[in-house]
Structure 1
Amino acid sequence: MPVLRFLNSPAGRVVRVLLGAALIAVGASIGGWWWLLALLGVLPLAAGLLDFCTLAPLFRLPLAGREFREATRRRQPR
């Protein structure tokens, strides 16, 4: 769960955007079948820009970033 919390933090969103952009750049520059890598890079890029976490539903947490942060804040012991 700490990984999901990081991915939904502002720093995690930046990491997802940079990772997606890097995958797109590498896949597009190499060409050939590597364009699939560029296509794969669209997912983390979109997730970071649009503030959603694709892994959260696997842990029965909300997909939307704001809702995810609220749900995890309620679950933490005080």
Structure 2
Amino acid sequence: MALINFLASSAGRIVRIVAGAVLVVVGLAVVGDTGGIILAIVGLVPLLAGLFDFCVFAPLFGMPFGGKDIRSRS
């Protein structure tokens, strides 16, 4: 699937890291309170997925969890 292959690529990893970091910062600095903490926690998922090279959605489409494994199948 093209989306999963993109997310496993270098550009996809950068997009996930940036998007996750933005969600964390917006959650903690802008929103605040309980909603901000929840937004920051949600932002940690793509941030950590990009940093540690795994794709959370890949197993839903029958692909491996690790980014390296996804790239090797392409």
Per the shorter chain, which TM-score range?
over 0.9
2:19 alignment partner AA: L
Q: Which residue of the partner structure matches residue 55 of structure 2?
A: 53
2:9 alignment partner AA: S
Corresponding position: 1:36 with 2:43: no
Corresponding position: 1:20 with 2:14: no
Larger Rg: 1
Deviation track 1:19-59 (CA, whole Å, cap 9, x = no partner) reads 00000000001211221000100000000000000000001
Name structure 1 gaps, 5 residues minimum: 74-78
Name structure 2 gaps, 5 residues minimum: none
Q: What do you get for the CA RMSD once the two structures are aligned?
A: 0.8
Give 1:11 deviation, angstroms: 0.4
TM-score with structure 2 setting the length: 0.92
Deviation >6 Å, runs of 4+:
none
CA–CA distance in structure 2, aligned partners of residues 67 and 6 of structure 1: 13
How many residues in Structure 1 have an aligned counterpart in Structure 2? 72
